Amino acid sequence: MMYLKMYLLSRRAYSGLLFSQGSMATCLRKGKSLIKPCLCRNISLSCQRYTVMASWIIDRYGRNDVLRFTNNMMFPVIHFPNEVIIKVHAASLNPIDVNMRNGYGAAALNAKRDPLKLKSTRSEFPLTLGRDVSGVIMECGLNVSYFKPGDEVWAAVPPWKQGTISEFVVASGNEISHKPKYLSHIEAASIPYVGLTVWSAMKQIGGLNQDNCTGKRILIFGASGGVGTFAIQVMYYNKPSHLCKGIHYRWAFFTPSGQSLDEIAKLVESGKIHPVVQQVFSFSEVPKAFLKLEGGHARGKTVISVINKK
């Protein structure tokens, strides 16, 4: 028992170190116990090859041919004590992924990534796209108490962070939420980004809730796409008097929020909101998934089964 405690303490103490997390990844991937013998001085070492993972990346902005698969993407590191590492089971695509591949928002996102210009390398590349994730927590930072390794979670990772079309991703504890139990990872990955966009637009910006929708009219554009299919379900549940022509508008934006996802999870679990998945692609088919999204006429979400490597 004493030995076990010592090991756990040393694992938490080294949670920010790349080599420690690499050894954890190895254990999980091979389905072995996470508990490994302490080596000398309580330091757990792993081979260099375990510090990398499979990922779809871009090395420059451009059209679909800039997407590149690699088995050598640097394994993500916990930099802050409120962060977790998630083993990605499924990710989904949004128009922002196509736009970011093309270079959308690069200057603003780089300013957000490194506001004080402290990094020695000025480049955001190699860059992983993908905002939505459904997966399993592999490791938690020292201040994370609400989640634990092994929890099934869903999240939308903000665009200035490395994305989810990757075997593993780091997210803040504030951005993640427990995945609704009755959804598969594929279904769960279809909701966070569009759900949080609608939540931000309707609840935070529009101030709409279940009690104040009566007599209000709401116009939803692009209702067959990811945002639209979610928005219609929320509005149906809130029951405004008409879903028709609007006369007032304000801009709203996706806001990452684990807390809002908790509320969305309750609606999903009570059967009020259903995932709308149009097509699922395997991890090897990511460029095809981008082409499909770029082709327009979305009728629900495009999801990538990251654990399906075929």
Ligand X SMILES: NC(=O)c1ccc[n+]([C@@H]2O[C@H](COP(=O)([O-])OP(=O)(O)OC[C@H]3O[C@@H](n4cnc5c(N)ncnc54)[C@H](OP(=O)(O)O)[C@@H]3O)[C@@H](O)[C@H]2O)c1
Q: How many CB atoms lie within 10 A of CB 226?
A: 29
Closest distance of CB 77 from ligand X, Å = 27
Binding part of the chain for ligand X, among 16-24, 155-163, 225-233, 257-265 by CB under 6 A, reads 225-233
Of 76, 130, 173, 228, the residue at the interface with ligand X (CB under 6 A) is 228
By the rule CB under 6 A, 271 interacts with ligand X: no
By the rule CB under 6 A, 149 interacts with ligand X: no
Residue with tokens 């330091």: 43
- Which of 9, 71, 21 has its CA nearest to residue 46? 21
Strands 277-282, 301-305: pairing kind: parallel
Strand ranges in 46-165 using DSSP code E only, listed in sequence order: 52-58, 67-74, 83-93, 132-140, 152-156
CA 164/CA 208 separation, integer angstroms = 31
Residue 43 DSSP one-character state = P
Binding to ligand X (CB under 6 A) within 16-75 occurs at none
Give 51 or 302: the residue with its C-beta nearer to ligand X: 302
CA 290/CA 56 separation, integer angstroms = 12
By the rule CB under 6 A, 260 interacts with ligand X: no
Closest distance of CB 210 from ligand X, Å = 23
By the rule CB under 6 A, 298 interacts with ligand X: yes
Of 24, 138, 186, 194, the residue at the interface with ligand X (CB under 6 A) is 194
Q: Which residue is nearest to ligand X (CB)?
A: 225
CA 160/CA 176 separation, integer angstroms = 16
By the rule CB under 6 A, 254 interacts with ligand X: yes
Binding part of the chain for ligand X, among 51-59, 89-97, 154-162, 204-212 by CB under 6 A, reads 89-97
CA 204/CA 253 separation, integer angstroms = 10
SS3 content of the chain, % helix, strand, coil (to 5): 35, 20, 45
Task: Judge whether 81 and 143 are in contact, CB under 8 Å.
Answer: yes
Of 116, 248, 296, 310, the residue at the interface with ligand X (CB under 6 A) is 296
Binding part of the chain for ligand X, among 23-31, 48-56, 91-99, 260-268 by CB under 6 A, reads 91-99
Size of the site for ligand X (CB under 6 A): 17
The phi, psi pair for 218, rounded to 5°, reads -130, 130
Closest distance of CB 222 from ligand X, Å = 2
By the rule CB under 6 A, 92 interacts with ligand X: no
Of 71, 143, 224, 284, the residue at the interface with ligand X (CB under 6 A) is 224
By the rule CB under 6 A, 103 interacts with ligand X: no
- Which of 103, 150, 162, 154 has its CA nearest to residue 264? 154
By the rule CB under 6 A, 94 interacts with ligand X: yes
By the rule CB under 6 A, 207 interacts with ligand X: no
CA 89 to chain centre: 10
Residues that bind ligand X (CB under 6 A): 94-96, 194, 197, 221-222, 224-228, 253-254, 296-298
